[in-house]
Amino acid sequence: MSQISIKTPLPGPKAKAIIDQDHQYLSTSRYQMYPFVLAGGKGCYVEDVDGNVFMDMHAGIAVTSTGHNHPEVNAAIEAQTKRYLHNCGNVFYNDSQGRYAQRLAEVTPIHNSEQNRVFFCNTGAEAWDGAVKLARYATGRQNVICFYNGFHGRTLGGISANSSKVVQRRGFGPLLPGMHFSYFPREFECPSNPPYPTSVEGCLEYLEEVLFKKVVSPDEVAAIAFEPVQGEGGYIVPPKAFIEGLRRICDKHGILMIADEVQCGMGRTGKIFAMEHFDVKADIVTTAKGIASGMPIAAFVASDKVMAWPEGAHGSTYGGNPVAVAAAEKTMDLLQSSLCANAKDVGAYFMDKLKVLKDKYGEAIGDVRGLGLMIGVEFVKRDNGRVVHDGALRDAVIQQSFKHGLLTLACGNSTLRFCPPLVITKEEVDIVVDIMDAVFSEVI
Ligand SMILES: Cc1ncc(COP(=O)(O)O)c(C=O)c1O
């Protein structure tokens, strides 16, 4: 399985039967972009049930960081399954949880900390909820400042802080009280000249001069919480000065900073944590997704001063599951030995090549941006001379890419996201970019 090969109409007959069954029995809340039914994978390639081979540019939404079927990760998982599967690490000891906690604690940059502690859970949303609970507990305050276009998961705690799509919140209220929204800066403004702040100065001023003076007093704010690179909201990389400004505000008011690194963490941006690009440390860091190459495990990390809650204050039956920990340990080995460097190197190469396409396709591509292998391409059009989102074009690009054997994903209003396995090579990027070029020439 080392090259794209489409042999049947899409979906093929086996895929179609499975899709029909899914549609009959699975929740209607699911959302499928295209009819691909996974049957196997290797590195960046995936095969469907009809034997068609595609290239995977979403890695199960930024999860399969070491690629599909990495032999060392699989061997670590298999070895652990022969020893034991579970003992509830939150209540009982086992021989790997503390070892991996030490490793994660030591690589996570935390503000003013000499020693970090880790809480293991299962999903990004569970890590988010735990981080908010910890911030409330540690400060004795209730309010949290979140950011427009942010995404933190699907639990009630997560959706209370989400503001990337209203469908995630509609009908589920009342949501968690005390969650307030502020503006996240973006260097590429779409629609052009929006009537809300987009500059670093404008966004920080809104927080301090509007929210803190008219809505919520900073001495009642537990945390300022954000994604160091916004994911679901459109792959938006904030300027360094913004994160520095947030740190200054947190320090001034005794507010904890939560960095939600669920999507941008674990090597995806070319460093283990995206916050390392900003030279600013958060007080609580959440992680999940790429941490264990596809096994479900998540965590949040804080200093031992902040994570000083009493026995029984927080828990999780499966958190830190030993099989998932085995995968996480091997994933960390691979990230540290080569994949972080690969994400930086191949990510820069990928971005440069996409920028060449941006120049070629002129007005339809407003922006190409990202860090490492977290890259967004934003589609735009003109409306009475104004540059606005073109979500329809983005969706057409995704459908046409699928026909060419490329699995891509949307985010934000009109952004195409690339978050491939971190094992991707420059040669594979060349294949992807050639396909994108063909797709753009067909749909733009
Ligand atoms: C930044 C961020 N936080 C939290 C989550 C929720 O993670 P999960 O789906 O594992 O609950 C996501 C998922 O996309 C995410 O991107």
Cα 14 to averaged position of ligand 1 atoms, centre (Å): 31
pLDDT score of 192 = 85
Q: Ligand 1, residues 152, 168, 273: which to mutate, most atoms within 8 A of Cβ?
A: 152
For the Cβ of 261 lying below 6 angstroms from any atom of ligand 1, the answer is no
Phi, psi of 309 (to 5 degrees): -95, 160
At 415 the three-state DSSP class reads strand
Q: Ligand 1, residues 151, 160, 285: which to mutate, most atoms within 8 A of Cβ?
A: 151
pLDDT score of 315 = 97
Instruction: Name the residue ranges covered by the structural domains of the chain.
Output: 1-53, 75-335
193-197, 326-330, 363-367: least confident range: 193-197
The region, left, alpha or beta by phi > 0 then psi within -120 to 50, assigned to residue 426 is alpha
Cα 359 to averaged position of ligand 1 atoms, centre (Å): 33
Residues above pLDDT 70, as percent of the chain: 100
Cα 9 to averaged position of ligand 1 atoms, centre (Å): 33
Are residues 46 and 53 in contact, defined by beta-carbon separation less than 8 angstroms? yes
Cα 124 to averaged position of ligand 1 atoms, centre (Å): 4
User: Taking Cα atoms as reference points, which of 63, 442, 114 lies closest to residue 287?
Assistant: 63
- Alpha-carbon torsion (192, 197, 200, 202), positive or negative: positive
- The answer to whether residue 150 scores a pLDDT higher than 90 is yes
For the Cβ of 234 lying below 6 angstroms from any atom of ligand 1, the answer is no
At 54, which helix (H) or strand (E)? Answer: strand 53-56
Q: How many CB atoms lie within 10 A of CB 123?
A: 21
For the Cβ of 288 lying below 6 angstroms from any atom of ligand 1, the answer is yes
pLDDT score of 29 = 96
Q: Ligand 1, residues 263, 268, 374, 419: which to mutate, most atoms within 8 A of Cβ?
A: 263
Structure-token pair, residue 198 = 């987009």
- The answer to whether residue 1 scores a pLDDT higher than 90 is no
- The answer to whether residue 190 scores a pLDDT higher than 90 is no
Cα 285 to averaged position of ligand 1 atoms, centre (Å): 13
Confidence of residue 40 (pLDDT cuts 50, 70, 90): very high
- Give the C-alpha distances (Å, rounded to integers) separating 83 from 77, 91, 330: 10, 19, 17
Q: What is the DSSP string of 156-184?
A: HHHHHH--S-GGGTTT--S--TTEEEEPP
Cα 33 to averaged position of ligand 1 atoms, centre (Å): 18
pLDDT score of 248 = 98
Confidence of residue 19 (pLDDT cuts 50, 70, 90): very high
- The answer to whether residue 2 scores a pLDDT higher than 90 is no
The whole-number average pLDDT for the span 245-263 is 98
Cα 22 to averaged position of ligand 1 atoms, centre (Å): 23
- The answer to whether residue 385 scores a pLDDT higher than 90 is no
- The answer to whether residue 358 scores a pLDDT higher than 90 is yes
For the Cβ of 227 lying below 6 angstroms from any atom of ligand 1, the answer is yes
Cα 126 to averaged position of ligand 1 atoms, centre (Å): 9
Atom number in ligand 1 closest to CA 263:
16
The CA dihedral of 381, 382, 387, 391, to the nearest 10 degrees, is: -30
How far is 292 from 225, CA to CA, in rounded Å? 24
State the CATH class of domain 75-335: alpha beta
pLDDT score of 362 = 83
- The answer to whether residue 49 scores a pLDDT higher than 90 is yes
For the Cβ of 207 lying below 6 angstroms from any atom of ligand 1, the answer is no
For the Cβ of 262 lying below 6 angstroms from any atom of ligand 1, the answer is yes
Amino acid at site 129:
D
Atom number in ligand 1 closest to CA 154:
11
Atom number in ligand 1 closest to CA 153:
6
pLDDT score of 439 = 98
Token match 């305050």: residue? 141
Query: Each residue of 77-89: pLDDT tens digit?
Result: 999 999 999 999 9
- The H-assigned helical ranges of 278-364 are 322-334, 340-360
Query: Each residue of 288-347: pLDDT tens digit?
Result: 999 999 999 999 999 999 999 999 999 999 999 999 999 999 999 999 999 999 999 999
